[in-house]
């Protein structure tokens, strides 16, 4: 018999109303990452994180009061990236944390400004010294900047970030697991903070240290933009750099930044957003700040650049693709009745839908068929329920001695879509015997045509 305490969604809402948490680092480049907010919320409620996930995020209808089976949290989950997953988590968690908007705890504000692909590191990274200092101050959190893929060092302590637990030796730490705690290993649960050691070697890369600070400046932008300012589209930012610093020569700019000329021209033409490393390299070479590059495009006053810096051509690395995990997820979605489409599953797994179709065509097709059948059944059920509700409303009116009209039935149903949906409108008119204005015109024209024919 399972002795685990059973809670309900309502109880979780009531508890969260009295356990509001504030997002740490707001207004700075060290704003808290969304997974840290979620884990701290669970700690504040004195619950395992899986309970918060079950009711706040997963929201499975079968989860209410269930004890036996808990939902699975994908180890490849990236809730700080740019995409539907981050949007879903920010919306759901905002209701529980009391925060007006948690988008700044993700990279969502940079949608269209920076390429989403590989923007967030697949695993956790942290600065042990920062965690220890936070513990001494009383509030521990994990800054969003640690999840940015281009951040390899801690800008404060000028040392490389760590991604392997010193106790169990395991890396590739997932954002969230069933018992996730802030600042602790996702495998063994050990505390990851420690005091600074004088014998540690500081980072030897000036560019890596520049990137660490520039990424903090980047994350501060959405929180600090003034009225009339906004984060610019990628094509505008790249074109401005090309025209102001490279005399409009895209090929020259590409050579300096280690890019292919065809790629850089595609960024300028708006075919797809430029990756973050393009803006970081441009800022390092020219001395332009992230605000100047992505917001103001005012390059009248510049910082110290590195005109002699050279970058090797950066080619895309193939993304690790866990075929067995993808296939297992497809089979689970099929067994679940097809409630999730192939596109939705691909988004949840953080893989391209075309890749999923190419690698698992049979399973993807099975899921697509199951999803189509699911949608058809849901649509048929919805239509049947609507017809029954109209019949019930008409019968109630007649039992009261009232002649049912289409307008009265629409008002009682309270369905704003009736007037816009031709099928719903027809059902209401047929069951009430009331002919709408459009139908009257059509019938008049039809009868008029018949009369002309008889003459």
**DSSP secondary-structure letter at 245?**
H
Q: Which domains does the chain have, with CATH numbers?
A: 225-296 (1.10.260.40)
* Cα–Cα distance for residue pair 412/343, rounded to 1 Å: 38
- Per-residue model confidence as pLDDT tens digits over 83-98: 888 988 898 888 777 7
User: CB neighbours of 431 closer than 8 A, spacing ≥ 6?
Assistant: 387, 390, 391, 394, 409
Looking at residue 41, its pLDDT comes to: 86
Looking at residue 451, its pLDDT comes to: 47
Residue 434 pLDDT > 60 = no
* Cα–Cα distance for residue pair 287/241, rounded to 1 Å: 11
- Per-residue model confidence as pLDDT tens digits over 215-252: 999 999 999 988 888 999 999 999 999 999 999 999 99
Q: Is the pTM of this model over 0.75?
A: no
Q: Pick the more confident residue, 294 or 313.
A: 294
| DSSP H helical ranges for 360-436 | 361-399, 406-413, 422-432
């Amino acid at each position: 018999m399972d002795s685990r305490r059973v809670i309900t969604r309502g109880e979780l809402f009531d508890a969260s109303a009295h356990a509001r948490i504030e997002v740490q680092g707001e207004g700075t480049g060290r704003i808290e990452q969304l997974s840290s907010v979620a884990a701290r919320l669970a700690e504040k409620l004195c619950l395992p994180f899986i309970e918060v996930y079950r009711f706040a995020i997963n929201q499975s209808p079968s989860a209410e009061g269930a004890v036996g089976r808990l939902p699975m949290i994908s180890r490849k989950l990236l809730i700080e990236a740019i995409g539907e997953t981050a949007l879903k988590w920010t919306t759901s968690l905002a209701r529980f944390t009391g925060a007006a908007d948690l988008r700044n705890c993700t990279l969502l504000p940079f949608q269209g400004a920076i390429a989403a692909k590989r923007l967030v590191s697949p695993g956790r990274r942290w600065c042990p010294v920062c965690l220890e200092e936070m513990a001494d101050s009383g509030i521990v959190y994990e800054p969003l900047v640690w999840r940015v893929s281009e951040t390899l060092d801690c800008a404060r302590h000028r040392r490389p970030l760590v991604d392997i637990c010193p106790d169990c030796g395991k890396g590739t730490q997932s954002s969230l697991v069933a018992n996730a705690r802030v600042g602790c290993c996702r495998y063994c649960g050990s505390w990851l903070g420690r005091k600074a050691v004088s014998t540690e070697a500081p980072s030897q890369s000036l560019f890596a240290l520049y990137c660490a600070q520039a990424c903090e400046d980047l994350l501060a932008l959405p929180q600090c933009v003034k009225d009339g300012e906004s984060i610019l589209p990628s094509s505008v930012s790249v074109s401005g750099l090309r025209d102001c610093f490279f005399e409009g020569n895209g090929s020259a700019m590409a050579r300096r930044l280690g890019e292919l000329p065809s790629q850089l021209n595609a960024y300028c033409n708006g075919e797809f957003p430029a990756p973050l490393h393009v803006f970081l390299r441009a800022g390092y070479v020219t001395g332009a700040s992230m605000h100047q590059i992505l917001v103001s495009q005012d390059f009248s006053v510049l910082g110290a650049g590195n005109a002699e810096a050279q970058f090797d051509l950066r080619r895309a690395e193939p993304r690790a693709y866990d075929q067995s995990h993808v296939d297992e997820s497809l089979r689970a979605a099929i067994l679940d009745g097809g409630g999730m489409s192939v596109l939705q599953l691909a988004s949840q797994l953080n893989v391209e839908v075309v890749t999923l179709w190419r690698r698992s065509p049979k399973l993807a097709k099975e899921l697509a068929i199951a999803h189509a059948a699911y949608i058809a059944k849901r649509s048929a059920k919805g239509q049947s329920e609507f017809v029954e509700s109209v019949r019930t409303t008409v019968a109630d009116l007649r039992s009261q001695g009232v002649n049912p009209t289409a307008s009265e039935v629409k008002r009682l149903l309270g369905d704003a879509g009736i007037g816009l949906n031709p099928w719903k409108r027809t059902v209401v008119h047929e069951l009430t015997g009331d002919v709408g204005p459009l139908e009257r015109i059509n019938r008049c024209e039809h009868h008029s045509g018949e009369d002309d024919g008889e003459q």
